[in-house]
Each structure stands twice: as structure tokens, then as C-alpha cells.
A = this chain, B = another copy of it.
Amino acid sequence: MGNRIIGLLTDFGLQDYFVASLKGVILSINPEAEIIDITHDLPDYSLQAAAFVLLASYRFFPHQTIFLTVVDPGVGSERHLLLARSDRYYFIGPDNGLLSPVIEAEKAEVLEITGENYYLTLRRTSFEGRDKMAPVAAWLSLGIDLSELARPAKSFERLSWPEPQITDREIRGSIIYQDKFGNLITNLSQQLVASFLNSNQGSSLALLAGRKRISEMAATYSQAPRNKAFFMINSLGLLEIAVFASSAASLLGLEPGDNVILKLE
């Protein structure tokens, strides 16, 4: 028995023939596959945004879900294709770093795809999502033996992922994602902020972001002051900069890559 659900995450957009082609290939091989779009509207070629959205959503899916992830500026080159497997999930994608954060989070075993027999073509192709990765995902969903499709990888690419720097008086981090509402998500985790506060009881916190100083912390969007940036621990357990019913990114002129400093006052 196979794993019926295949989640797709790409930067293909929805307006072209790309996503439909993936779906057609999958359904031609496994008509019972249930294909779920994670997202296709990632910024072009952004491995970090892709890795973030995958990390933020994969664990809500049923166990045995297969995630097919295609953000792939190196398509057609000699880079390998990966199939990572944890106790709970499968992840397929190019070996360009996209999968490394989820591999680490899931302590997944990393395989290198060798299933040429299952590809749509043996020729060089500029659409490996359609011609190689989608067929592998579909055959995997049919329950084919993994050894038919992949072998242990000797190594794989790691995505450069910004890590917070912690001192006695401050934590330096950065904005790693901006969502549709203009909320700015940082790499400062709830645990990190909590332990920083615990070591400095009685102090209050401020967040420096760009040239702004944000001193309001709120439990959720609706608890926040109006027309004013605040920070909160969001539903992913990460520190997020937001404005009630408005865009923090526009108000503050900040974007992913910008630095933040959480300070004692």
C-alpha cells in the first residue's frame, strides 16, 4: 500500500503549464494520488522562502505524506536529486539546500535518486520536476520499494540559514520571511526569548529593527495597539513583527535579510 498524499511546493506560479504538468504526470502514474498544493507562489528561485514554508507547514500533514519540492535554478546541471526519508515523511527535491532545514528538523535519512527507469525521459531536460521528480514521487506513492528509486547519498548541500547570536545583554537575529499580510518573521525562537528573559528577570525588552525601536509586545494580533508596530511570538513559535490589520513591512520599510536586535532595557 502506498502513501496517497503528495504535497507540491514550487516557485512555478499558477499561471503557466508547469504545475498542471506535474499533476498530470503524477495522476497518469497513480490515479489515486491526492495532490495538495503547499504553495507555488514563492519568490522566483528563493530557496530560503521555500525551505521556510515547508518547515512551517509539513508537520501538520498526515504521516507518510510525500513532499515534492521544486525550486531549482540549477535544473539540467549535474547536481543530484534527493529523496529524504524520516519516520514520518518523504521529501523529494533538487540537491541545492532547499531540503536541508527539514532534513535537520526531521533527522531524515538522505538518499540520492537513481530511478532512471522511472523517469519520463533519459535525455537531458530543462524540466526535471515534470520529467524526473514527479514520476519518482508518483511511483513512491504507489508503494514501490525505495531501493528501486534511490541509494544513500554521500553528501548533500546545506542551505545557509542565519543563526541568532546571543550575548548577556542582547540577541542578534534577522528577518527570515515576510508573509502576505506584511508580517515579518525572525529567526528568534520562543525558547530563546524565554530563556533570555528568565536570565534577566525584571527587565523589559525592546526590539531594534532597521532604525526603529519596537517596545510593545503582544500575545496576538488583536491584543496589540493600533497603527503601531509590535512584536509577538507567532503560531510557529518565532518572534514576529506585526501591525494590527496592516503591513509591518510597509510601515517599517523592512524585509527578509534585515537584522534585528532584541535588547534588555
Contact surface of A with B, Cβ cutoff 8 Å:
4-5, 7, 12-21, 23-25, 27-28, 31, 34-42, 44-45, 52-53, 56-62, 65, 73-77, 124-127, 130-131, 179-181, 219-223, 232, 234-236, 244-245
Contacts and interface: CB of A to CB of B under 8 A. Distances in A.
Given A16-B179, A131-B235, 11 more contacts: A15-B42, A19-B39, A20-B37, A20-B39, A27-B34, A31-B62, A73-B221, A73-B245, A75-B221, A77-B223, A127-B235
State the 4 A-B residue pairs at the shortest beta-carbon distance, nearest first. Answer: A76-B220, A24-B60, A127-B235, A13-B180
B37 A14 contact: yes
A126 B74 CA distance: 37
Contacts of A232: 126
Contacts of A74: 222
A16 B39 contact: yes
Given A75-B222, A76-B219, A14 B40 contact: yes
A18 B73 CA distance: 25
Copy count, this protein chain: 3
Nearest to A245: B73
Contacts of A73: 221-222, 244-245
Nearest to A5: B27
A175 to B, nearest CB: 15
Contacts of A59: 24
A11 B96 CA distance: 32
B45 A245 contact: yes
B42 A76 contact: no
Tell me which of A31, A52, A61 has the highest count of chain B C-beta atoms within 10 A of its own C-beta: A61
A49 to B, nearest CB: 9
Contact of A4 (B23, B31, B56): B31
Contacts of A124: 219-220
Contacts of A130: 60, 235
A39 B14 contact: yes
A235 B124 CA distance: 10
